[in-house]
Chain A
Amino acid sequence: MASTTSSTKPSTAAPRGEVQIALIGCNHRTAPVEFRERVAFSAEQARAAATSLRQQGILQEAVVLSTCNRSELYGVPGDSGAAVTEAMEEFLTSFHRIPRSDFDGRFYRWTGRDAIQHLYRVAAGLDSMLLGEAEILGQLRTAYSQALEYGSTGPVLNRAFQGALEVGKRIRAETEVGARPMSVAFAGVRLAERVFGNLRGRTALIVGAGAVAEQVVEHLRNRGIGRLQVVNRSLDRAEELAQRMDGKAVPWQSLESVLAVPDVIVTSVSGSEPVLTRPMLEAALAARAGKPVFVVDLGVPRNVAPDAAGLYSLYLYNVDDLGEIVEQNRRAREAEIPRAESIIAEHVSKFEAWRSALAAGSIVDELRAHFQRRRDELLRERLAALPLISPEERQRLAEVTEELVERLLVEPTERLRKTHSMRGHLGALDALRHLFGISEKHRKGKAGDSGDGDE
């Protein structure tokens, strides 16, 4: 059904009467960051693209999802019908002014069930660089909300994206795909929560002001840490980080004197000798009446003397310990993929059932129009040969034949309405179209036909 290269282009013609979703996009797996930067959309660009796609009749509905790891364009084909993904790709090449040849092998194209499945996998974080990461769900929500605001969505994409948000929430609630920390920095913070519970009102001391320390500080802030102190060999750097993170810089010389205060200590400084020795930490623990301290040592070589791990009330984790936990968590998350996939399959089936119900409704309308046309033709032919029939009798004949058409359609309409899942019947619907000769031509020509009839 779909491919990830331009060379094997899938058939994207929407089956008659069915509402298809089409998607083209690239992500961290199919394209390097240099390319992803070129096809990224700002919020304004996303709006302009969606509007333009609809104005050009390529799509009836459009949503642009653009994050640092992916640029995707979801849409419901407009009147152009066939080869919609090609039209979407054409549009993107001109929108971003990128030669078409650059797209080869970097864009994937999905339609119908595959597109929905992809969207739900994205929402679940299964398609993310960091399996199960939560940020994508927020980005998806934002992309959808913006599209909703500027009116580029319709019933199909509304249904699809609301479903995706539900899938994302369900998977995070019911599986462990997004439950455990996947970065060393976050694992350290989550472990601190295993000791203290809520970090609100707690104090953290960051020893070193490097990039890793910064990540930890950010996680600590996100988890509501109360007070933050930063100590670094360079006071300027400490002050810079402290200012940015709403903390307090402490001179390097005061390190030992402030050790008794924090509940969480994160070290990340370079140096061949440990910065925090066992006697220093022992004194700190005594000064804080034995209240527990959680120490995360992210330095290599280690910043905390290993024998400090034996201190009562002190929990010490180094970068290897955290790395092992992250690895365990990665395996645990991967083990949850089948459960997540089954939730996705359930929701894809729900969407398909809804889509099929739409298709079923559409064929009833088509059948009705078809029978009405035949009735009109028959009445015209027969009544032309019967000039003696009065206008009242003609009117009566028209009413009776119209009632006949309606009666013929009552039962199939009822059956279609009562069928919960029409997915298995889609082939039968196509057969029905074929049997009665309801073609795309008829559907498009409905407007013209209606002018010929009595109506």
Chain B
Amino acid sequence: MHQYMTYVSLAVYAGSFVCYAGILYIPNAWLGRLATFLLASGIVCHYFALLERSRWIHAVPYDDLYGSMSLFAWLLAVTYLGLEFLHRQRSVGALVTSLLVVWIALVATFAPNKILQSSPARGPIFALHVTLNTWAYAAFALSFILSLVYLLQDRVLRSRHAGAAFWRFPALDVLDRMSRSSVYVGLSTMIVGVSLGFLYERRLTGAIIWTDPKVLITLAIFAIYVAYLALSRASGWRGARAARICAFNFAVVLFSYTAVNMYFTAFHRFL
């Protein structure tokens, strides 16, 4: 299978990264708009790359790790673009797009050119279940990035040694709000995605297997992010401590996305 569109989207994301990095040093409004435009263009190109792969495997491209990674990156980009419009902040764009570039480069380099044996699970409910949960992971990844930036900014503020980039990154309050917005997106998509998963499983087997490790860890993820949202407003927890919780939560998400998928679950395995 050719991956022309993947390479095109990689190039456009890279251009967007250059512009986002540029505005950290040259605060030019047009450069910022160009960065956003390139990101949006990258998302469109990436969509066609996913569509290409989808046509090739006759399913939403999440059956293998590569397709799943690509879908994850696309949803991360979409979520970030939404947050950028919502909060009118471009200064974390460089971090997000750099991650996208590395991620897509890995996908483009290691994606197999043969169809892997796909999961027997099919249908729109299943497709939505997987896509929405991947979206939730992408949103949590974004909140993780924002929390890291928050912790970095907080440390710089406390050290009282403001460097060049310090004045360019968003204020702590903005980072906090962006992170929470991202978690709201993640939790919303996760609720719908998990519900659809239960619905699909019930239709398929007539029951819901609550003891599946993937189900258990997903519920745990849900709980820890709800706890984060609650604590981020609580006395003694808001600010840096909440950001640390958010960063820790993402470690659990990563564990779920990798180790649990590969070794602990029977029917959520992507490899």
Task: Check A197/B26 contact, CB under 8 A, given A289-B235, A292-B239.
Answer: no
- The segment from B55-63, B170-178, B193-201 found at the interface with A is B170-178
Are A194 and B235 touching (Cβ within 8 A)?
no
Contact with A along B1-35 (1 / 0, CB 8 A): 00000000000000000000000011111000000
Q: Is B115 an interface residue (CB 8 A)?
A: no
Are A312 and B28 touching (Cβ within 8 A)?
no
Q: Is B157 an interface residue (CB 8 A)?
A: yes
Are B173 and A196 touching (Cβ within 8 A)?
yes
Contact with A along B231-264 (1 / 0, CB 8 A): 0001111111100000000000000000000000
CA distance A369 to B125 in the complex (A): 87
Are B167 and A179 touching (Cβ within 8 A)?
yes
Choose among A191, A195, A290, A317 the residue that contacts B234 (Cβ–Cβ < 8 A): A290
Report A187-244 residues with CB < 8 Å from chain B CB.
190-191, 193-197
Are A290 and B158 touching (Cβ within 8 A)?
no
Q: Is B160 an interface residue (CB 8 A)?
A: yes
Are B239 and A174 touching (Cβ within 8 A)?
no
Report B138-190 residues with CB < 8 Å from chain A CB.
153, 157-158, 160-162, 164, 166-167, 170-174
Contact with B along A137-162 (1 / 0, CB 8 A): 00000000000000000000000000
CA distance A325 to B166 in the complex (A): 12
With both chains docked as a complex, state the minimum distance between the C-beta of B16 and any C-beta of chain A, in angstroms.
20
- How many A residues have CB within 8 A of the partner chain? 27
Which B residues are CB-close (under 8 A) to A289?
Answer: 234-235, 238
Are A175 and B160 touching (Cβ within 8 A)?
no
Which B residues are CB-close (under 8 A) to A45?
Answer: none
Q: Is A328 an interface residue (CB 8 A)?
A: yes
CA distance A215 to B69 in the complex (A): 53
Q: Is A404 an interface residue (CB 8 A)?
A: no
Are B172 and A292 touching (Cβ within 8 A)?
yes
Q: Is A291 an interface residue (CB 8 A)?
A: yes
Which B residues are CB-close (under 8 A) to A332?
Answer: 164
Which residue of chain A is the closest to B240 with respect to CB atoms?
Answer: A312
Q: Is A388 an interface residue (CB 8 A)?
A: no
Which B residues are CB-close (under 8 A) to A173?
Answer: 26-29
Task: Check A328/B162 contact, CB under 8 A, given A197-B173, A290-B238.
Answer: yes
Which B residues are CB-close (under 8 A) to A194?
Answer: 153, 157, 162, 166-167, 171-172
A sample of 16 cross-chain residue pairs with beta-carbon separation below 8 angstroms, ordered by A number, consists of A173-B29, A174-B27, A191-B157, A194-B153, A194-B172, A195-B171, A196-B172, A197-B172, A197-B174, A286-B235, A292-B239, A313-B239, A315-B157, A317-B160, A325-B160, A328-B161
- A interface with B by C-beta (< 8 Å): 173-176, 179-180, 190-191, 193-197, 286, 289-292, 312-313, 315, 317, 321, 324-325, 328, 332
- B interface with A by C-beta (< 8 Å): 25-29, 153, 157-158, 160-162, 164, 166-167, 170-174, 234-241
